[in-house]
Amino acid sequence: MNAKPKLQRHARSFFDSLHDLLTPAMWKQANQARHAAKASPRWKTQPLVLTLLAMTWCCGDSQAERFETARGFTAVWLQKRRQPGQSVQGFQDALAALPMSVLRVLANGVRRCLLTMIDLTDDGFVVFGCDGSSMETPRTEELEKRLDPAVKERGGPQVWVTALVHVRTGLLWAWHLGKGYNRERSHLQALLPTLPPHALIVADAGYNGYDLACALTAAGVSFLIRMSGKDRLYTKERIALTKFTAGEVFVWTKDAQRRAEPPLRARLLCIRAKDRRDVWLLTNVLDEARLPAKRASQYYRWRWENEGLFRTFKRTLAKVKLMSRTVRLVHREAEGALLATQLLLAQGVLAMGNRRERGPTAAGRCSPRKVLLAIRKVLSGKLDLRDKRFTQHLRAARRDERARKTGKEKRRWAQRVHHKVQKPPRFLKMKRSENALAEQLLDQTA
């Protein structure tokens, strides 16, 4: 008789993996954040949230189908406790009464756990990419009245999500839900309290502006933001665009001058490209040795992990369109789905060996799709909840890192907006009066 293969030393089950991220102390804090008067007797906090998470991971064309699978998973997880309710309507009623603070307490606890489990630093920075995307909702009267209108002609109301992603690992860090049109900057400011020390925000041209740059600097957060033709930067000397590579500039606006607010000193980098698609990057890290141009260029390329996150959330987890039909349920469905995405990616990153003792040079990144397939084996009963072989499935969920030899887009899609090359920012030489005012305001704040 063949002997059973020995498990690896650090083999963990899905129960152990999720238990490390959602600890008993976190469930206790979540219970405290939930008002006792609103608690459903059949849906306590833990089974309600576990069912919500499992409904994001499992398969199903409708909420009823997903609910049956998720409820079975929760019943097995909490087999020694009172069983949750059996109807999807009862689950939705309990979910609608759940305060959003409960889900946010759990997300904050997961972030604290990740800081102790994973080394997120790169050359002294914890680099996060910031970007946003919209999610479509059903065209009910309540949602059409209270949410953003559809962008497309035949689309439904929209919910906007702005997300912070750790660019090296692709790990979802934090997010903010709300209305989207021209609100990306306010969303990023709302996410500042979630950032760890030495954070560096990498963002596209939509996150520019004097007010946001000052808010990031005041919060002790470094930034690396792309500039475009709509940005105006002050300089003390005239600058030739064709020869410029790096230099100090001032971010200032006429409104800030009237309010007697000082200019923001920053460093502008020009990353020259062979196809003449030059990238202009603005940073408040004035020390070139701390953030050289080559490293800044690499960080900006890594920002593509933001797009990968939204692809995972919308396509892999099928959240292009949310299913809930009221505002309260839409927000809780989106918040729970983002928390489930964070937990999914965290388990994959931990399995790849990105723990603190391995350091930031650990090779390989996880494939969200393969991690989801491993979790679905547990949800469908093909793999026991406490089976230690779950770690083996996670370690095999490695992303394909082959070098691309062809373009990502083989042909142009009819409904896709063609990408336009960003123009360089406009340089304005300071007048004598502006230079004197700038020096006076900078001396007062020194």
> 340, 53 in Cβ contact below 8 A?
yes
Q: Which residues contact 414 (CB under 8 A, 6 or more apart)?
A: none
Distance CA 325, CA 137 (A): 8
- Report the amino acid identity of residue 23: T
Q: Which fold has domain 121-306+426-445?
A: archaeoglobus fulgidus dsm 4304 fold (3.30.2170)
Going from the first residue of the chain to its last (446 residues), give the mean pLDDT of each consecutive group of 10, the final group possibly shorter.
45 92 96 76 92 96 94 93 90 94 97 94 96 94 92 83 96 94 90 97 94 96 96 90 89 94 96 82 96 95 94 95 96 98 96 55 76 96 94 91 73 71 90 93 87
| Predicted pLDDT at 276 | 66
3-class DSSP string for the chain: CCCCCCCCCCCCCHHHHHHHHCCHHHHHHHHHHCCHHHCCCCCCHHHHHHHHHHHHHCCCCCHHHHHHHHHHHHHHHCCCCCCCCCCHHHHHHHHHCCCHHHHHHHHHHHHHHHHHHECCCECCEEEEEEEEEEEECCCCHHHHHHCECCCCCCCCCEEEEEEEEECCCCEEEEEEEECCCCCHHHHHHHHHHHCCCCEEEEECHHHCCHHHHHHHHHCCCEEEEECCCCCEEEECCCCCCCCCCEEEEEECCHHHHHCCCCCEEEEEEEECCCCCCCEEEEECCCCCCCCCHHHHHHHHHHCCHHHHHHHHHHHHCCCCECCCCCHHHHHHHHHHHHHHHHHHHHHHHHHCCCECCCCCCCCCCECHHHHHHHHHHHHCCCCCCCCCCHHHHHHCCECCCCCCCCCCCCCCCCCCCCCCCCCCCEEEECCHHHHHHHHHHHHHHC
Distance CA 70, CA 360 (A): 35
pTM, two decimal places = 0.92
Beta strand 279-283 with 264-271: parallel, antiparallel or unpaired?
antiparallel
Going from the C-alpha of 399 to that of each of 222, 351, 366, 370, 394, the distances in angstroms are: 30, 12, 5, 8, 11
Q: Which residues pair with 175 in a beta bridge?
A: 163
Domains of the chain, by residue range, sit at 14-104+325-395, 121-306+426-445
Q: Which two tokens stand for residue 184?
A: 């990306």
Distance CA 14, CA 378 (A): 8
> 132, 180 in Cβ contact below 8 A?
yes
| Predicted pLDDT at 155 | 80
| Predicted pLDDT at 185 | 94
